[in-house]
């Protein structure tokens, strides 16, 4: 038995070394790709990195192949061409944050269902209507009714828990917790239905012309829709808020 164990050890060592080589090779490859992307953006836009402070991409997640997208001109006269093998979504918009110039778009005003991207509106409305983000909010049994049966994503909180408002925000945006959205909605407006009215008013204030919300969680509903252009408007607005960002 001892001999067998000794014979296996070199194989284990070789396997570990192989894994390390793969990891380093992967990070090296990513580094090369990142440098190439930075080079392209420096050449085209005079900007060091294509970071969130300069560019934003909003798209739906349909996953189908698409036809070539024609270049979209922007105010500076620059253009971006996307080949079909690099674009999988039916609906796309690429916006430069610093001047809101649209660089690339495809069917950006076509109706889509936002699903969990709804929670961006839920979060920004909650942030703007909660004076104290350290406030404790009790999650009641009624807040969980219907969420499990509908297949809503959950953050893992339980009925009866008292949770800080800021933690519910994290729970809504990071693990996409539906119970967090309901907890925030009930605390602010007394019910999800009343909270949705505030969401729709915010959408109107932001000139999101083709958006309508029916819930705070993003659960599928025929009357719960938006466009990638409107989502771009929403994200541009939300990123100006330090707490959201």
Q: Could you list the active site residues? A: 116, 119, 176
Q: Are 151 and 139 in contact (CB under 8 A)?
A: no
Q: Are 123 and 96 in contact (CB under 8 A)?
A: no
Q: State both tokens at 232.
A: 């771009």
- What SS3 class is residue 189? helix
Q: How many CB atoms are closer than 10 A to CB 208?
A: 22
**What is the number of alpha carbons within 13 Å of residue 130 lying toward its C-beta?**
28
- What SS3 class is residue 90? coil
Cα(101)–Cα(174) distance, rounded to whole angstroms?
28
């Amino acid at each position: 038995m001892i001999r067998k164990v000794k014979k296996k050890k070199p194989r284990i060592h070789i396997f570990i070394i192989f894994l390390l080589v793969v990891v380093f090779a992967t990070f090296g490859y990513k580094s090369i790709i990142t440098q190439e992307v930075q080079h392209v953006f420096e050449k085209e836009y005079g900007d060091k990195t294509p970071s969130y402070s300069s560019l934003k991409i909003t798209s739906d997640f349909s996953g189908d192949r698409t036809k070539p997208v024609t270049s979209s001109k922007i105010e500076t006269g620059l253009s971006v061409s996307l080949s079909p093998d690099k674009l999988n979504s039916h609906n796309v918009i690429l916006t430069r944050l610093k001047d809101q110039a649209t660089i690339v778009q495809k069917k950006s005003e076509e109706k889509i269902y936002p699903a969990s991207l709804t929670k961006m509106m839920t979060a920004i409305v909650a942030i703007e209507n909660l004076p104290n983000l350290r406030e404790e909010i009790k999650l009641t049994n009624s807040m969980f009714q219907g969420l499990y049966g509908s297949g809503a994503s959950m953050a893992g909180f339980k009925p009866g828990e008292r949770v800080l408002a800021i933690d519910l925000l994290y729970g809504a945006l990071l693990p996409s917790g539906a119970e967090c959205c309901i907890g925030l909605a009930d605390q602010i407006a007394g019910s999800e239905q009343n909270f949705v009215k505030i969401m729709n008013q915010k959408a109107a204030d932001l000139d999101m012309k083709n958006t309508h919300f029916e819930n705070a969680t993003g659960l599928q509903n025929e009357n719960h829709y938006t466009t990638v252009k409107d989502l771009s408007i929403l994200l541009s607005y939300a990123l100006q808020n330090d707490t959201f960002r």
